[in-house]
Amino acid sequence: MDTQLIMDYLSALCRNNNREWYHANREEYKKANAEFEALLQALLLEIGKFDADVLHNNPKDLTFKLVRDTRFSHDKSPYNPAFRAHISSKGKLPVPVGYYIMIKPGGQSFLGGGLFADMFKDATAMIRDYIVRNGEEWEAVIHEPEFAKYFTVQGTALKNVPAGYEKGHPQAEYLKFKSWYLEYPLSDEEVCGAEDFPAKAAGLFRIMKPFNDYLNRALAGFQMPER
């Protein structure tokens, strides 16, 4: 795969974020998208070495559109100049949680994991309740030395512990969260400069897997809301 071609296309889209340019350069988009799908296929094979549940996925089914929903945004740019994908046992659905990659120029690329979505109240409640019952396991996961070397748990959070939970609970700070996720930033050079990028990315995904596994145990039985 040619990650430099991906970055070059996205950089050009950043400079020309309008429908006229996008449609005039449709062939360039197709080439860049094909390279991104090739990257995802390589990632799937690497991740499959420690998480075989992802191997059935087709890269085409894991990606997100460039088109932005600008209805409620002050920024009316029609496109998000980023290639994004979520890899899990059920593809790109936010639950079960899995492995997220975003490639975006300007040092905005990153690898992620966990639950990014904070609008699913049932999912949030399930994770909070699981942390209440399994606090020691939570601490063991997030403070494991290799994990702590690369990741810190992030997420949107309330100011106070929500009603129904003990303010003095040992994991009270994490009970405030509405989402629990990880991000590992990538420089443009890291994305473009190494042929072994898929293996390096998968290595980081391997380290975050126990975190994903914990959240997925908490989310067992969760049903995505019907649209």
The secondary structure of residue 159, as a DSSP letter, is S
Q: pLDDT by residue (tens digit) across 133-155?
A: 999 999 999 999 999 999 999 99
Mean pLDDT, range 48-72, rounded to an integer: 94
Q: Exposed/middle/buried for 105, CB within 10 Å: 0-12, 13-18, 19+?
A: buried
Go through 179-198 and write b for each residue having 16 or more CB atoms within 10 A of its CB, e for each that does not: bbbbbbebebebbbeeeebb
Domain map (residue ranges) of the chain: 3-218
Reported confidence tier of residue 224, pLDDT bands at 50, 70, 90:
confident
Mean pLDDT, range 26-32, rounded to an integer: 97
Query: What is the pTM for the complete model shown?
Result: 0.94
Whether the predicted pLDDT of 187 surpasses 80: yes
Go through 7-34 and write b for each residue having 16 or more CB atoms within 10 A of its CB, e for each that does not: bbbbebbbeebeeeebeebeebbebbbe
Q: Average pLDDT of the chain?
A: 95
